[in-house]
Copies of this chain bind each other. A is one copy, B any other.
Amino acid sequence: MLHPGAARRVRISVVLHPSRAVARVTYDRDAADAVLDEALTCHVGFVVDGRPHVIPTLHVRVGETLYVHGSTGARLLAAGRSAALPVCVTVSLLDGLVLARSAFHHSLNYRSVIVHGDARAVVDKDEKARVLAALVDRVGVGRSEQCRPPTPKELAATAVLALGLGDPSTDVALKSRTGPPNDDPPDLDSGYWAGVVPVRLTAGAAEPDCDLPVPTGLAPSLEARR
């Protein structure tokens, strides 16, 4: 489902090298959402005392809102206590190694979404409970109903930031590179091997903590990529 208001802020472009980029500027919120929903982790950037900080963490999209788990970043937590924290949430999926006939055109196939906006700390208990359940369901499909729910104390100890994907101040940019190497015509007959080595995140066999039955589900993104 496209959201016309938000879609105007979604840019899609293919960037290889600036000099020869094939820039496709389209408006496809679904494509951006698909990347956000497939990737298990994101990198959150924020500024403290004028310097950049980038922390890897778990995220989940719930409709128009992108939620970011903040527990591993003490600085992020502290910064998030302010009314609105300027953040850049970047989600990247590596799809392939691009081996070209020239050194210059070696590249990576990837999909990435870069979200610029002002994040708010989630303080409402019901909202936070819903977000924690959604985050748990990203770790394992249906897990939020197959484990002990959080206590009020645990909920209070969980920090979550929220970013409205459709907010006027939010910018969502999707960039990707796909396909074979982009060699210059004079190099095509050079005799060097060229092609793409696809890569993907794959799940191995589950390792039960004790003597337990097999797991009931993996993250959908992993099942889809097996």
Contact = CB atoms under 8 A, between A and B. Distances in A.
Contacts of A50: 47, 50, 86
A215 B195 contact: yes
Contact of A136 (B86, B89, B103): B103
A174 to B, nearest CB: 12
A12 interface: no
A1 interface: no
Given A86-B51, A103-B132, A140 B97 contact: yes
A157 B19 contact: yes
Count class of interface residues, chain A: 35 or more
Interface string A185-226: 001001011111111111111111110110110110010000
A94 interface: yes
A114 interface: yes
A87 B52 contact: yes
A149 interface: yes
Interface in A19-72: 19, 40-41, 43-47, 50-56, 58, 71-72
A4 interface: no
B154 A104 contact: yes
Q: Which of A17, A147, A219 has the most CB of B within 10 A?
A: A147
Given A17-B71, A51-B88, A196-B207, A133 B56 contact: no
Given A104-B154, A193-B208, 6 more contacts: A50-B50, A99-B139, A103-B133, A104-B157, A147-B192, A199-B222
21 contacts: A43-B43, A44-B54, A47-B50, A51-B116, A54-B54, A97-B139, A97-B219, A101-B147, A103-B133, A103-B143, A104-B151, A107-B139, A147-B192, A148-B192, A180-B209, A193-B212, A196-B206, A196-B209, A197-B207, A199-B222, A201-B201
